[in-house]
Structure formats: C-alpha cells, structure tokens
Structure 1
Amino acid sequence: MPEEGIKYLPKSKLLSYEEMLRMVNILAEMGINKVRITGGEPFVRNNLIDFLEKLAEIEGINDLSITTNGVFTGDYIKQMKSIGIRSVNLSLDTLDKNRFYKITRRDEFDKVYETLFRLIDEGFEVKVNAVVMEGKNIEDLIPLAELTRNNNVSVRFIEEMPFNGEGAHYARLEWDMLRILEELNLHFPDLQKLQDGPYSTSYNYQIPGYQGNVGIIAAFSRTFCGTCNRIRVTATGELKTCLYDDGVLNVRDLMRGGVSDEELKSEFMKAFRNRAKDGFEAESNRKNIVKESMTTIGG
C-alpha cells in the first residue's frame, strides 16, 4: 500500500453490479468460462455475496474464484463454499507481524493468517501470493516456502512490478525470477520442476516430501506472456489486455453510452485481436509512463 494511501472514487465512477453482470454475460457468450474477482479485499464492497451468486448462475461460467488480502474474507467462507467458489488467492507478503504492518499499513496479520488456514481446512484450492521486495520481505522467502511442508497450498513468489505503489522506482530488478529460484535452490537443493499448465503464468516447483508446491511469477521479466490468456477489467471499467497497458477500452463508458450487446462484443473482439504480443510491447504502447499502484489496478 502506498504510504499516502489511495484516493477512493465516488460510486458513480465504478462499474455497478448490473453493469458487471451484463459484461460477464456478454463475455461468457464469447467463450470466457472463468471469472476471478480481485482485491485488495473484494468484500469491502457491500452485498458482494449476492453479486457472486448471480455470477455463478451465468451460463458458461464454470470457474469462479477470488483474490483477496484476507481482511474480511474469513466472514464469508461458508457462503463462498455454498456458491461453488473453490479457488482463493490470498495476498500475503510476509509471515512477520511487524513487516506485515509496514507493507500493508494495517494491523491485520492475525486475522489474515487465521483466514489462510481456515480456507485450507475448508478444502479450498489456496494460493498464497507474495511479492518479493528488496529491503522489505526477503527474509520471508524460506518461511513462506515452508508453509508447503504440511499444507496443501501453493506459494507463489511474484517479481515486483515497476508500479507497485511507488512509480518506476528501480532501473534493474534485484530479485528477479532467477535470483528467487537460486535462493530456493540454496535451501532446497532437491527442488523439483513441475509440469506447468497450458496457460500458467507461474513456473512451478515442489520440495520433495512437502504437501504443497511453490511457484515463481516473472511479472517484471515477462517471460510467460506467450501463454497468458488473461484479460482484466478495473473497477472503473478499463479493459486491460495486459497489466502493463494503460487501458485499451472503457467498458463502463460504452455501456453508459447506450451500445448494444452486439456492438460491445465487436469492441471486445477488436481489443483482443490487437492485444500486444507481450508486456514490453504493451508498456511501449502506453500513452503515459507507468505510475499507477497495483492497489488501483486490482491485485
């Protein structure tokens, strides 16, 4: 979280639940079958459970999942399970309470840590997302990896991106994928490579004898772009076909301008066909320099 916090927008600038449901219905007709609601903490928004229930009823959507910082999610675990949500990504950059406070600007570590194990106990497919940050949480790499010893959990170490709340604040990334992997191999010399899924953005490994697995997401190096099939829509309706672009289409403005479903499908297809080949091209096509925080993009 940036030290100065983030500027909260008026509700009128955000996509309404009705607009999001219309959008997902259209995308489902176009072949999208998985939807992930991301945070921060999605449950900051009122009546999210009702929205999730309606999403789960959309024909063609067979995979509904959540990315959360875990602050409020624990209150809704039973309801999430009844809706059919099976996968939860939990953002947790450190296992140290003091470092957690410095990184997140909130004193919620105990609640988040408890939610992690409640999700595991309830049988969710849990992935812990940890952004590796020089001078902030390097000492947490091995303790986080150790979470996989006795827990069926995937811990994914994510390269820090150049817009993680502070603007483009480094010319060279100290902890890239290779260095993270080197650190893991140093402590776990028998680390084994796993087969990655067809659209995986992580390179996955297992420590022999451990229940879970670890992964590395090369978010800065951008070596997975050839297999990435994700699209993202921000809370204000900006369609991003890559995290590094600055928005290629505003769905909110189109819908509020009165376009038909067929016209919206046409705009979506135009954006998808013109998708940048990788994150480097997406960044070079930007109209503005990279300065936004991941907290405003949505995890």
Structure 2
Amino acid sequence: MLTDNHGRTISYLRLAVTDRCNLRCFYCMPEHGLDWLSRTELMSNAEMLRICSLLVKMGIDKIRITGGEPFVRKDIMELLTSLSQLKGLKDLSITTNGILTAPFVPQLKALGVKSVNLSLDTLDANRFFTITRRDEFDAVMLTLDTLLSHGIEVKINTVVMAGKNTQDIPALVALTKDRPVSVRFIEEMPFNGEGHDYSGVLWNHLHILQEIKNLYPDLQKTTDTQFSTAYNYQVPGHTGSVGIIAAYSRTFCGTCNRIRLTPSGMLKNCLYDDGVLNIKDHLRAGTNDEQLEQILLKAFNNREIDGWAAAEKRIASPNESMASIGG
C-alpha cells in the first residue's frame, strides 16, 4: 500500500494526456484557447506507459485518463490498450467532453473500461453553445446514449455557475429518473485561464444541495464510498443518482487518495499545488526505475494536509487553465 506523510492511501492517478481541447468552455480557458504545448513538451505514449507501470507496481490501482480532451490525441486508443494490460490495475476510466467519443465506445467496452465521466453543463443546446462556444450538443448526447447502450457506467460532471446554468439543475436531476446515470454537480473552481470571477463561493455544495432539496424534499442521502469526492444522494423512485462535489470548498481532503500528472509530466500531489516535480524530465535524463521510485516516494511524503495549505504555497497564478492542470 502506498501512503503519504499524513497516513492517507495513494491509489488513484489522474493522467492528463493533452492540454488541447475542442471546446472553449469559458470557465476553463479563454475564447481564443491557450498556448498549446508542443509535441516534444508532451509526454509520449512510451513515457506515460513507463511511469504508469511503475506507479501501479508501487500501489496505484486506478488510472483516470483526462485532458484537455483525451480523444483529440491521435494515439489515445494505443495508450488505453497498453494501460488496460497492466497487471495490478483494477480500474481504467476516462473523463471526456463526448464530442469525439461515440465511435470509440465499443473499443472502450472491449478494453474493460467500466466508467466514463462525461462533462455536460446543461441540457439546453443554446446554453451549451454559450458555455462552450461550440455547437456540439448533439454529439455529446449521442455519446451519452452510446455509453449507456453499451452498459458503461456514466457520471455526468456539471460545473454549477451563477448566471449561466443554475436553471439547468432541475432538468439534470430529472435525467436520473429513467437513466442509470450519476449527475454530479461541481463547485466552480478558479482555474479558468484568464482570471474572471467564478461562483465557487456563492454556489457552494450547501447551496447546491438546498436547491435540489427545494425540488425534491424527500431526497435521500446514500452511502459514500471510501475515497469519494462527492456527497451522494438519490431521489426515491429514480434509477440514477445525484452527487455534489465540493471542489472549491475542499471538504474531502482528509481522505484524498489521488495524484495527478499534467500533460507535460508535472506531478501534482494536489489540484491546488504548483506541481512538485517533473517526471518527464527525469525519464528523459535517464533516471532508472529504482531511482525514480525513491524520488516519487519522497514527493508523496511531502504532501500538504489539504488544498488550502497547497494553495497558500502556490507561486504560479491561480488562474491557470484546468486544461493544463489535467481536468
């Protein structure tokens, strides 16, 4: 078992394979996009597979592929195929915006991908365009239907934003009535790439919960899994469930079991830290696996107690993009 200096288990890697995305969601990046990493700045498939293999041997048993948008990376299926074959890896999952995903769903099923997180902030096509600056709503809904038809668990990730999509909360909760989906409402975070105001404080997890309870007074609390970042609920009689993630309030830090690798190879012990070491640089400098394991263990034994402590030590601007952090 891999643990940190606070006795917390580390078993979950979020691996961002690219910073590029085919949407321009205003809460994630500027309208014109970002200064994308060059191909040489990105980790190669071989580099990602090597570090993932080592981390699985050390105790990581869950890997989630994120971005940017993972499916804009041309060789993503090659990487997923290799990762699915790692001995000791119990859970390989993906977070996607769903635009390019539908054609790959049968392959994902065959590889053993059991869960996909689908980013969807509204069920209204016009608001979708306003939020994402792209007309791709139908493609995302096709991916949702395709995933469900193949029996893949779907968690819908909805960032709650004042003045943008709070009116969508009723429709999104209603989506769980007849569909086996988990709709997770997420507090907005400050990582929008340009520093505009965000609503993580106003629409915090308590406000979101009260909004749902106003609609469904009989909302029932369900059991949260050991490392869950969401507070989970169910409307009686509904097939699916509802979750609320206190991403800005950071109420789940005490049980955090995750680490992150950015597209450029930066290890992050916490979403809110600057990054603690660049693994890609060590790989390219010829560091062997035994040396790399010791370097990683040292980093894991210097994790901050929570996201607030990590943020206090930041040097970089807190207004970087989630696409560059790894969603």
TM score, norm. by length of structure 1: 0.97
Shift of 1:47: 2.0
For 2:294 and 2:223, the matched residues in 1 are separated by 36
Alignment-derived partner of residue 220 in structure 1:
248
Pick aligned residue for 2:301 from 254, 257, 273: 273
For 2:295 and 2:256, the matched residues in 1 are separated by 21
- Is this contact kept in 2: 1:150–1:210, CA < 8 A? yes
User: Runs in 1 of length 4+ with deviation above 6 angstroms?
Assistant: none
For 1:39 and 1:206, the matched residues in 2 are separated by 29
Change (3 A) 1:11 1:280: same
Tell me whether 1:260 sits opposite 2:280 in the alignment. no
Change (3 A) 1:103 1:172: closer
For 2:286 and 2:200, the matched residues in 1 are separated by 45
- Is this contact kept in 1: 2:160–2:187, CA < 8 A? yes
Structure 1 counterpart of 2:294, one-letter code: S
Alignment-derived partner of residue 79 in structure 1:
107
Shift of 1:125: 0.8
1:11 match: secondary structure: coil
- Is this contact kept in 2: 1:15–1:252, CA < 8 A? yes
2:40 match: secondary structure: helix
Change (3 A) 1:254 1:224: same
Structure 1 counterpart of 2:211, one-letter code: E
For 1:298 and 1:96, the matched residues in 2 are separated by 26
Pick aligned residue for 1:233 from 261, 281, 285: 261
- Is this contact kept in 2: 1:39–1:69, CA < 8 A? no
Greater Cα offset, 283-292 or 129-138: 283-292
Alignment-derived partner of residue 138 in structure 1:
166
For 2:34 and 2:151, the matched residues in 1 are separated by 34
1:13 match: secondary structure: coil
Tell me whether 1:108 sits opposite 2:108 in the alignment. no
For 1:90 and 1:245, the matched residues in 2 are separated by 25
Shift of 1:23: 0.2
Alignment-derived partner of residue 208 in structure 1:
236
Shift of 1:61: 0.9
Shift of 1:175: 0.3
Pairs within 5 Å for 1:1-299 = 1=25, 2-167=30-195, 169-170=197-198, 173-299=201-327
RMSD: 1.2
For 1:53 and 1:154, the matched residues in 2 are separated by 26
Greater Cα offset, 42-51 or 151-160: 42-51
1:164 match: secondary structure: coil
Pick the structure with more helix per residue: 1
Q: Which ranges of structure 2 fall in alignment gaps of 5 or more residues?
A: 1-24
- Is this contact kept in 1: 2:162–2:199, CA < 8 A? no
- Is this contact kept in 1: 2:229–2:252, CA < 8 A? yes
Shift of 1:166: 3.4
Q: Which ranges of structure 1 fall in alignment gaps of 5 or more residues?
A: none
For 1:53 and 1:164, the matched residues in 2 are separated by 32
Percent of aligned positions with the same letter in both sequences? 56
Structure 1 counterpart of 2:208, one-letter code: I
For 1:16 and 1:186, the matched residues in 2 are separated by 49
For 1:118 and 1:166, the matched residues in 2 are separated by 34
- Is this contact kept in 2: 1:41–1:72, CA < 8 A? no
Shift of 1:170: 4.9
Shift of 1:28: 0.8
Shift of 1:105: 1.6
For 2:213 and 2:192, the matched residues in 1 are separated by 27
